Amino acid sequence: MHWHLTARQSLKRALVKARHDGLKPPPQLDLVQWADTHRFLPRENSANPGRWKTSRVPVAIGPMRAVTEAGTTKISVMACTQLMKTEFLNNTALYHIHQDPASILFIQPTQKLAANFSKERFQPAVSGAPVIAALVPAPKARGSENTIEHKAFPGGAIDFVGANSPVDLASRPKRITLADEVDLYPADAGGMGDPLALGEERSSSFKSRRLNVRACSPSSEETSVIYREYLASDQRKCFVKCPHCETEQVLYWSRETIQWDKDENGNHLPHTARYYCTGCGTGWSEAERKKAIAAIAQESHAGWKQTKPFVCCGKTHRPLEWSDSENWDERGRSHCPDCGKQSPYDGHAGFQVSKLYSSRQSLPDVVREYLVSYNRPTLYRKFVNTALAEVVKEAKFSMSAEALEERVENYSAEALPAGVRLLVAGADTQDDRLEMTVIGYGNDEEQWVIEHIVLDGDTSRKRVWDDFDDALRRTYTTEDGRALRIRAAAIDSQGHRAAIVYAFCAKRKYRRIYATKGMSNRSGARQIWPKTPSRTKNSGQHLYIVGVDTAKDLISAQLKNKPDVDGAPSPNTIHFPAEGLSADYFSQLTAEHAIAKDVGGRKVRLWELKKEGARNEALDCMVYASAARHSLPNRLRSKSNIAKPAGRKPSGELVRHVRKPPKTGGHNRFRSRFK
């Protein structure tokens, strides 16, 4: 009998405990704790599949903790590629689905990219986290009303939308907004203004409970949205301790901090690269660099400290100039050195991180990326933006027509320079003529304008197009006896002759003769040559959208490079012939300039005519010739595959410098170097 009562009491206690445990809310974890507990990386999207470990990417700790940081309502992450951005956004979404259910808006540059991201990146992340998979039925699950772009869960829903879709951006309220690749958003969403502001406006009614997260690699200083937002934040930077002297420092790229050897022939040896401490000047081995990065996980602030200048006690304080870490507290918040008062914080946390903080990518790999890109404007810009997470100050195109005309050289279309390895053409279509520029390309994108042809005649008639076809078929001969023909041509289809251009190109697509249409950066930054063609509405013909502003930025940078006076190879330089160009050719080539224009509430870099009504066909033809070059897969590289940066000593010895940390952010250093 006594045994029976004891068993009954034990069962009752067990039932009460089970009920109590069932009613208990889940433990409140921060994002780092939650991800380390619940996330698994799918094999198809990760080089390290399996259980998530934030310690593999220590610099991610700061941004992830900010998601649940008291008083933080905005987070801007200006980061390099292939380090933390995508999974940071995924983690934030998954965390709120499980721990803090809310309505979530996930914004990608276009609706197509939004759908692809949901299918290829987010859904595998859901499937890889059992606690999330139980809450978010797959679109194909029985009884599920979820779709690729809309997923409901208890307490909320997540919608994947494109920044080019103003209707989706401006509909129902959302407490959480996650904005990916914001620098690729169009400047104006269907006439309704800045798509980032439009999307985030949906969270305004939630006041202090809202969270707006943005993540992107930066672009140009004038137009980068993520750079603008980072400057508006508290500008946190990650400080790492030197393994030798324990000086805390922000890792940045310069000739003093990153150095490597050269052999006796002056060839670079990237595998010898080391990072040099700004305090004691000692070079870190790769193992020491990674160990120093890993050590930030043990710091209470995970290495991240506020660096935004602030005013207190009648002075302007600039934390990047501080040498005393006592002016930051254990959370990395800055305090006035005079009165000890905390600097103002409006809830906007900003983070900047480059590949120098990567524990998965080696410093020699970053150096190799730099060496390949040096003296190649497009690749160097990409290196600064996506490897160093720095903005680029765009070159101001102020070259005069007279200055370019003085650079003409003694070659002609009858005998091409020996350096020319392939030919392309770009053509502009007018009602009464066709204009075409033929350009020769050599190693390292060295270019020679071969000739600019004007074919007069009514372009609605067959004759002028036959003449144009003959010009495209011409065989040119180099001075060393090689025969070359045009490998690709891009023809502008805008204007009254679009249908004729489509038909002409369709019959010659096997010769890489392409119908193109130029588009500015008003609708978002565009590549010079698209990955895939568009289709014309009526005929269904292939049409290639050319990023004309991007092409003009590249051409302006190349025009600033002067040919070597001794005739040595000049990478990314444009040469001009002494014969075959019209009297106003150089005036047409310099007829436009770049301006930062306000479009939909944000700055966009656009090229416009300096003088209304000026002719610019020579520039347009060069733009389309550049597009034709980008359509080709050929890589023309010199035997000394790696460029030699100017200013380095030719010996194999390292010159070791000791310097103080810079007074301003890294973007200022690169602005001066890119000029």
Q: pLDDT tens digits for 283-303?
A: 999 999 999 999 999 999 999
Question: Residue 26's pLDDT is what?
Answer: 55
The CA distance from 230 to 365, in Å, is 27
Identify whether the C-beta of residue 291 lies closer than 8 Å to the C-beta of residue 267. no
Q: Give the pLDDT confidence of 545-576 residue by residue, as tens digits.
A: 999 999 998 999 899 888 988 888 888 899 99
293/659 Cα distance (integer angstroms) = 21
Give the residue from 521, 215, 458 showing the smallest Cα distance to 353. 215
Q: Is the pLDDT of residue 367 over 50?
A: yes
Instruction: Report DSSP letters for 486-545, one per residue.
Output: EEEEEEE--STTHHHHHHHHHTTGGGTEEEEEEE-GGGS---SS-SS-EE-TTT--EEEE
pLDDT at 478 over 80: yes
Give the residues across from 180 on adjacent strands: 215
pLDDT of residue 188: 79
More confident call, 268 vs 189? 268
Predicted pLDDT of residue 664: 35
Q: Which of 359, 351, 397 is nearest to 377 (CA)?
A: 397
Query: Which pLDDT value is given to residue 309?
Result: 96
CA–CA separation, 650 vs 265, rounded Å? Answer: 8
Strands 315-317 and 310-312: antiparallel
pLDDT band at residue 27 using 50, 70 and 90 as cut-offs: low
Q: What percent of the chain has pLDDT over 70?
A: 89
Give me the helix-helix angle, 85-98 and 31-38, nearest 10°. 90
Q: What is the pLDDT of residues 171-224, one digit of tens each?
A: 778 999 999 999 998 887 777 788 999 999 989 889 889 999 999 999 988 889
Classify 623 as helix, strand or coil: helix
Output 49 or 405, whichever has higher pLDDT: 405
Q: State yes or no: pLDDT of 1 exceeds 70.
A: no
Type of residue numbered 78:
M
Which residue bears the tokens 């995970």?
302
Average pLDDT over residues 12-38: 72
Distance in angstroms (rounded) separating the CA atoms of residues 506 and 238: 54
Q: 């005036």: which residue's tokens?
A: 587
- Cα–Cα distance for residue pair 153/132, rounded to 1 Å: 9
Answer yes or no: is pLDDT of 65 > 50. Answer: yes
CA 590 from centroid of its chain's CA atoms: 28
Measured distance CA(478)–CA(532) in Å, rounded: 33
Segment holding 89, helix H or strand E = helix 85-98
List, for residues 385-443, the tens digit of each pLDDT value.
999 999 988 766 567 899 899 999 999 999 999 999 999 999 999 999 999 999 999 99
Residues 419, 505: Cα–Cα separation, whole Å: 29
Residue count (the chain)? 675
Over range 264-274, report the average pLDDT. Answer: 93
pLDDT of residue 574: 95
517's CB contacts (< 8 A; 6+ apart) are 492, 493, 494, 543, 544, 545, 546
Which tops the pLDDT comparison, 321 or 275?
275
Residue owning tokens 């350096």: 419
Angle between helices 617-631 and 548-560 (to 10 degrees): 100
* pTM score: 0.78
Angle, CA 519 vertex, CA 224 and CA 555 arms, to 5°? 70
* pLDDT for 222: 85
Cα end-to-end span (Å), the chain: 93
Q: Which domains does the chain have, with CATH numbers?
A: 25-232 (3.40.50.300), 236-394+644-674 (no CATH), 407-631 (3.30.420)
Residue 419 burial (C-beta neighbours within 10 Å; 0-12, 13-18, 19+): buried
Q: Give pLDDT, residue 601.
A: 73
Q: Which residue has the higher pLDDT, 636 or 81?
A: 81
CA pair distance 534, 514, nearest whole angstrom: 12
